[in-house]
Amino acid sequence: PAAPPQAPDTSEETFRKGYVNKYTIGSMLDELKWVVPNRVMQDMPSIIETDPGRFIDLAAHNILAGFDRESVISRRILVHDIMRNFYQSDVIVITLGLAEGWRDRVSGISVIDAPISLKGCDPDRFELEVASHQDVIDGLENIAALLNQYGRSSWRMIITVSPVPFLASFTGDDVVVANSYSKAVLRSAAEEFVRRHDRVDYFPSYEMAMYSNTEAVWKSDRRHIRRDFVAAIIDHFCRSYIAS
């Protein structure tokens, strides 16, 4: 989709890179529950007013567009339109990104941005959540249940784990320790979920990044993957799943 016209400062490239990204299992599940077929949205619980006339969307990256009510609602409608395609898809790819996230105590919504970036919000409104192995399994099972109820009867799923590490952790642990826990939980949950479901497969993009030559994989920040290595992963994915 194109960047919303209400956000002229949001480039197509930026919009495509991150506006609809979901990193935690809770944030994924929230979005998919909101867009089940035939559900009419009477309200938009993720949109809140932080200051008079200033609105944000707890379930989206607010840095990518303006804060007036019409703009925020327009972006939320656009995200809903994108997410509805989930239930019409034959193959769903889910990338597990983070085990650490935040939840809004008022609405129960999983928050995309850290509360410190949500200017105008009461910080006590939010609580840190660190998902366990079982939390991730339960979330994946709930997603599978939604697909069984509303998706195509022939749906298939591919699970991956993002190799991109934390920039910072809110647990108080060293960021390397927190990241190690996060990736271990996500990877082990993915493995168990795949073993439970014949129609689910695991694609090892995480292992490809973590166990290849570091100079070939990582950019200079040692957090993001080089474009040529991303291309190699995608090439391997296509050769594995798409008939030539």
186 neighbors 96 (Cβ within 8 angstroms): yes
Q: Give the per-residue pLDDT at 192.
A: 98
Most confident of 3-17, 73-87, 227-241: 227-241
Amino acid symbol at 168: A
pLDDT at 86 over 70: yes
Look at residue 169 and give its three-state secondary structure.
coil
More confident residue, 96 or 70: 96
When pLDDT is cut at 50, 70 and 90, the band that residue 65 belongs to is low
pLDDT recorded at residue 21: 86
Give the rounded distance of the alpha carbon of 204 from its chain centre. Answer: 18
Q: Give the pLDDT score at 212.
A: 96
Amino acid 3: pLDDT: 45
- pLDDT for the residue 6: 46
The mean pLDDT of 95-123, rounded to a whole number, is 89
| Whether 63 contacts 49, CB under 8 Å | no
Which of 233, 230, 214 is CA-nearest to residue 222? 214
Q: What is the mean pLDDT of the chain?
A: 89
DSSP state of 91: E
pLDDT over 70 at 224, yes or no? yes
Share of the chain above pLDDT 70, in %: 90
Give pLDDT tens digits for 2-49.
444 544 444 555 545 567 789 999 999 999 999 999 887 777 889 999
Mean local confidence (pLDDT), 142-171: 95
How many whole angstroms separate alpha carbon 139 and alpha carbon 27? Answer: 10
* Element (DSSP H or E) covering residue 160: strand 156-161
Q: Identity (one letter) of the amino acid at 99?
A: A
DSSP H helices, 21-102, are 25-34, 69-83
156-161 and 91-96 strand pairing:
parallel
**DSSP label at residue 147:** H
